[in-house]
Structure 1
Amino acid sequence: MRSGAKVAVIGGVFAVVATGVGYGGWNLYNGLTGSGTDDGVTTRSAPKETGPPGAEDVEKTAKDFLAAWAAGDGPTAAQLTNNAAEAEPLLTGYSEDAHVTEAVIEAGAAVGTKVPFTVEATVEHDGVSKPWSYSSELTVVRGLTTGRPLVDWQPSVVHPELTKGASLVTQEASAPPIKAVDKDGVELTKEKYPSLGTVLDELRKKYGAKAGGTAGVELVVTSEDPNVPDSTLLTLTEGKEGTLRTYLDAGVQAAAEKAVKAYGRASVVAVEPSTGRIRAVANNPADGFDTALGGAQAPGSTMKIVTAAMMLDKGLVNGPGSSVECPATVTWEREFHNLEDFSLGTTTLQRAFARSCNTTFIKPVKPLGQGAGSALGETALKYFGIGAEWQTGVQTWDGAVPASAGAETAASYIGQGKIQMNALNVASLAATVKGGAFRQPVIVPLALDGREPATAQPLPAGMAQTLRQLMSAAATGEGTAARAMASVSGSKGAKTGSAEVDGQGDSNAWFTGYAGDLAAAAVVDSGGHGGDAAGRVVAQVLNAR
């Protein structure tokens, strides 16, 4: 703000220091309380103002709000927002729960209705104090009923990591710190491997006590969801680390982190087919929701791995050389197309899979009749464990292939409709084909807490051989995955995919593949054809094995 106002907390009692303005500390917000309006603040009879708040309103509202907050008057500060009921607990808890005893809040120049500010604070607990600094911002809007300028309430005003239902608390940590290491004992840190941030937080919450450490005192963001681990903002008293061995591979993880950074939104997971052990998890952006493990998106034509398995299981085809039709279009309540309406005429299942012919994986399934709507989900669960409750060691979305009807059934065979997967699920599809059986992915040993893994029937020998041959054809020669897999050595297989998303110009790009004893899958939002963006991510990860 132009005034350069500063707000301070001294010795546990909030006060205001103002520079270049004509206000005393306690007078900055005098007269703002009393009988109020729907927005919770007093106003004199005056015509309701409309339109965005002007510069003076923005400056004064921000200044008054910061002053009331700094004065330790949570109720008054809350009344200066457009949601006092939600704002008051966080504003009051800043001193009572977070134990902030000293702070200087300095506002920067407003940009329109947004006002950035910095906080230099001291947090104290049981005689131990530590400095704490961060930046945030607020936005000034008009109250809906009064037209009065108010701070648009968001928990992130108090701290950028706060979300609805979360709170700031300084307390003994809910779990001891851990030193997480990979399969070879290499330490895994958030700083070096930022995509592992949420994974490491959850591993600490679940296994910190089992790893042999002792808890310290921390300022944390806590969630109302008991499954969401605390996020540490400041450590006042160091605890004693316990060592937790994971199945991650630091080299593969580093390659995964580098690969996803090439795209705005991308995720990748690598799994060892012979054991189900998760070797890497990476997202870009690296902070926030873990899309790689928890996302739920249509997987596009990577789902043809399961559709092919279903067709084999139902006797609709009997091997890679089976004769199939690949017309440009096929109708199942609505018309479905191949990419650019290509046609292969009468061809083999292997060539249709390699070229990712949509119509081949819709037309032959019509004879299933009423069972067509549930057959795919039954196969996904029976052989690939999709839809079972996976016990990986952290929270995951374990895929969904719900029953469908009409055109939605046809769409599901090519990975659209109601089907929802993430990179972990699709990597497991490829790992199941390579290994011949579903092995539930795991990130830490099952023995740590006696978890019972999800199980599925092994692929029949003929089915496994056929699926491997189909994926090999896709990864070589004229296959849609050949260009992306060209740099990957050894026996390999792959499948491309692209998934249309309503309101999104370009399709999401999907790709899964394996080489040696490593399988991986990636999704790149708006990446277009799977062999392009997502294929490059998977190839980089497989080449790190």
Structure 2
Amino acid sequence: MGKRRRVAEQRKAKARPAVLGGVIAVVVGGVGLGAYALAGGGSADAQATTRKAVRTGPLTAAEVHKASTRFLTAWQQGRTAQASAATDDPAAAAAQLGTVLKDAHLQDVSLTPGAATGAKVPFSVKATVAYQNLNKPLAYQSSLTVVRRKTDGEPVVGWQAAVVQPDLKDGDALVTGESGTPPVTALDRDGGELTAAKYPSLGAVLDGLREKYGKTAGGKAGIELRVVRGKDSSKAGLSDKTLVELSQGTPGTVRTTLSPKMQAEAEEQVGRKPRASVVVLRASTGEILAVANTAHGFNVGFQGSLAPGSTMKIVTSTMLFEKKLVTPDASHPCPKTYKLAGWTFHNDADSEIKKGSFKQSFGASCNNAFINFAPKLSDSDLTKEAQEVYGLGMDNWSIGVPSFDGSVPVQSGAQMGASLIGQGGVRMNPLNMASVAATVRSGVFHQPFLVSPDVDHRTLAKAARTMSKKTQAQLQEVMQFTAAYGTAAKAMAGLGPDYGAKTGSAEVDNQKKPNGWFSAYKGDLAAAGVCEAGGHGGDTAGPIVAALLKTGA
């Protein structure tokens, strides 16, 4: 009986479900298939049937809500590891959030999401900045975007530093403590104080002035929460930015060359366009009288890097005149199309000038009247002209705040031809093109500056050579013709006769309308502007520049 009972019990045990690691597997024919697959064994087919499929397709509202809530809740509670894991780049997120937790000295952080628009979720941030015995409230708006994680399609937050604070770029940090540089009080040329509240475009300029002159202007540092720029941001010319001032430092004083009248007018003019920038100079000295941008973050006027379109034909014409390849009144047709190194170049609206002078082609901004000189030029001719006569592309301007000095790289073939009309690899900003107009007006390159070199004894850049008086006269002739009868005539009406201008339209990939450019001078004033995605320069940037020339007249 004992032996029979043991056999029966063994049979009964075999019939019970087997428990492996907490997972119940039904035994069929003596083999637990479910448990075998979950335990990691079995065939490739068995594994494939249990592998989770990668999610695809548009995100649902529920997925966006869940992913954003998970991230914001963890961040608010100071659970950096969990918040970072809720993003598509946990390592970068952990580094950024960890720095904030350690160095920003924020307390009572409150994150409140707003209504999502698709996958984008705006949210408000409220906190207290507390350092030693000082504290002040902090409040700002930010946003995040939910994306599908590449590995499994799970909805997570698409990581970028700006999620934490909109002014942050990758590699930047939020730091509370004694400011690296004392504050400065910036003055205009008449002694009035310049503030971002009065002149919104000057926010980045004032930051740059503080960074450059804070330690030498006689001020004392205060305590503040600020964005400290990393290596990449510094290379891009971005300055540290103060977000909250816990205790005021003692500011030093820096006088600039800005004209309060011109600056106010510049702010008003760019405010009428969605994406406009303008710079005004005194041609005989290089003093910067105004700089304004519709967008108040990045200073396109000083630091932009955009193809200048046909305003570059001023530099190209200088080269052609100096090489004696053409004169203003020489017969020079502008064909509808021109082939160069496998490319076919077209004029705007497929226009052409069959019988006309070079001056007429300049005034009409007819592209192929310039590109058809390419076979007579070397690859480096335009680069040398820009550097040696106009001081462009040498990376040596020192205007008092960060700036980009333009770029005219050596190119060959069709790209060289495109450079002649301000496309290809040529890059400029309104500061550069205002300087070009100023050089034509004065005959000599004067490096633009916002702060006099007498303040810090810095050396201003100089051009290698000066254009001849004959070349200057020829340039003024074609620019005056353009201002009186050409594509700039409508904008420059009533400003003559001591004036000159050049319009430009620069094509940009995947952009419906070109960037509209305008470069001009009137008397001792020179100015240039750009309206990004605005269309033809004569209709967009032209009125802005002309209004400023009238203001200073």
TM-score (norm 2): 0.84
1:231 CA displacement: 0.9
Aligned mate of 1:290, from 299, 311, 329 = 299
User: Who is 1:505 aligned against?
Assistant: 512
Q: Matched residues in 2 for 1:491 and 1:255: separation?
A: 22
User: Who is 2:227 aligned against?
Assistant: 221
1:538 CA displacement: 0.7
SS in 1 for 2:289: strand
SS in 2 for 1:324: coil
Aligned mate of 1:404, from 390, 408, 411 = 411
SS in 2 for 1:268: strand
1:251 CA displacement: 1.4
Change (3 A) 1:151 1:381: closer
1:10-409 pair list within 5 angstroms: 49-225=55-231, 226=234, 228-287=238-297, 289-317=298-326, 319-333=327-341, 334-364=343-373, 366-368=375-377, 371=378, 373-388=379-394, 389-409=396-416
Q: Matched residues in 1 for 2:289 and 2:57: separation?
A: 54
Q: Matched residues in 1 for 2:198 and 2:333: separation?
A: 50
Partner deviation per Cα, 1:349-378 (whole Å, 9 max, x = no partner): 33332222323223345334xx2x221111
1:462-501 pair list within 5 angstroms: 462-476=470-484, 478-488=485-495, 491-501=498-508
Partner deviation per Cα, 1:504-527 (whole Å, 9 max, x = no partner): 222221111111211001111222
User: Who is 1:451 aligned against?
Assistant: 458
Letter in 2 for 1:496: T
Q: Matched residues in 1 for 2:350 and 2:61: separation?
A: 56
Q: Matched residues in 2 for 1:53 and 1:357: separation?
A: 49
1:379 CA displacement: 1.4
Change (3 A) 1:89 1:385: same
SS in 1 for 2:189: coil
Partner deviation per Cα, 1:171-212 (whole Å, 9 max, x = no partner): 111111111111111221112212111111011011012221
Q: Matched residues in 2 for 1:91 and 1:330: separation?
A: 56
Q: What is the Cα-based RMSD across aligned positions, in Å?
A: 2.2
Structure 1, 327-336 or 420-429: larger mean CA deviation: 327-336
Instruction: Report if the CA contact (8 A) 1:487-1:539 is conserved.
Output: no
User: Who is 1:10 aligned against?
Assistant: none
SS in 1 for 2:266: helix
SS in 2 for 1:326: coil
Partner deviation per Cα, 1:122-161 (whole Å, 9 max, x = no partner): 1111111111112223334443324444333232332222
Change (3 A) 1:538 1:93: same
Aligned mate of 2:420, from 413, 416, 430 = 413
Instruction: Report if the CA contact (8 A) 1:311-1:365 is conserved.
Output: no
1:490 CA displacement: 5.4
Change (3 A) 1:379 1:87: same
Instruction: Report if the CA contact (8 A) 2:204-2:296 is conserved.
Output: no
Change (3 A) 1:45 1:499: closer
SS in 2 for 1:414: coil
User: Who is 1:8 aligned against?
Assistant: none
Instruction: Report if the CA contact (8 A) 1:95-1:101 is conserved.
Output: no
Instruction: Report if the CA contact (8 A) 1:328-1:343 is conserved.
Output: yes
Higher helix share: 2
Q: Matched residues in 1 for 2:58 and 2:330: separation?
A: 67
Change (3 A) 1:52 1:357: closer
Consecutive unaligned residues in structure 1, runs of 5 or more:
1-43
Q: Matched residues in 2 for 1:142 and 1:327: separation?
A: 52
Structure 1, 224-233 or 245-254: larger mean CA deviation: 224-233
Letter in 2 for 1:398: D
Q: Matched residues in 2 for 1:502 and 1:53: separation?
A: 29
Q: Matched residues in 2 for 1:380 and 1:111: separation?
A: 47
1:481 CA displacement: 0.7
Change (3 A) 1:453 1:405: same
User: Who is 2:528 aligned against?
Assistant: 521
Change (3 A) 1:458 1:140: closer
Q: Matched residues in 2 for 1:433 and 1:441: separation?
A: 14
SS in 2 for 1:404: coil
Q: Matched residues in 2 for 1:350 and 1:367: separation?
A: 19
Change (3 A) 1:67 1:480: closer
Structure 1, 121-130 or 328-337: larger mean CA deviation: 328-337
SS in 2 for 1:544: helix
Report the count of equivalent residues.
496
Structure 1, 271-280 or 348-357: larger mean CA deviation: 348-357
1:53 CA displacement: 5.0
Q: Matched residues in 2 for 1:102 and 1:328: separation?
A: 67
Partner deviation per Cα, 1:333-364 (whole Å, 9 max, x = no partner): 33333333434334333333222232322334
Bigger radius of gyration, 1 or 2? 2
Q: Matched residues in 2 for 1:235 and 1:531: separation?
A: 44
Change (3 A) 1:310 1:143: closer
Structure 1, 116-125 or 269-278: larger mean CA deviation: 116-125
SS in 2 for 1:77: helix
Instruction: Report if the CA contact (8 A) 2:374-2:416 is conserved.
Output: no
SS in 2 for 1:243: strand
Letter in 2 for 1:174: G
Structure 1, 382-391 or 67-76: larger mean CA deviation: 67-76
User: Who is 1:40 aligned against?
Assistant: none
Q: Matched residues in 2 for 1:268 and 1:462: separation?
A: 30
Q: Matched residues in 1 for 2:365 and 2:534: separation?
A: 17
Q: Percent identity?
A: 46
1:474 CA displacement: 0.7
Partner deviation per Cα, 1:217-250 (whole Å, 9 max, x = no partner): 0001111124532111100001111111011112
SS in 2 for 1:121: strand
Consecutive unaligned residues in structure 2, runs of 5 or more:
1-49
Instruction: Report if the CA contact (8 A) 2:238-2:402 is conserved.
Output: no
TM-score (norm 1): 0.86
Q: Matched residues in 2 for 1:283 and 1:315: separation?
A: 39
1:422 CA displacement: 1.3
Q: Matched residues in 2 for 1:112 and 1:481: separation?
A: 44
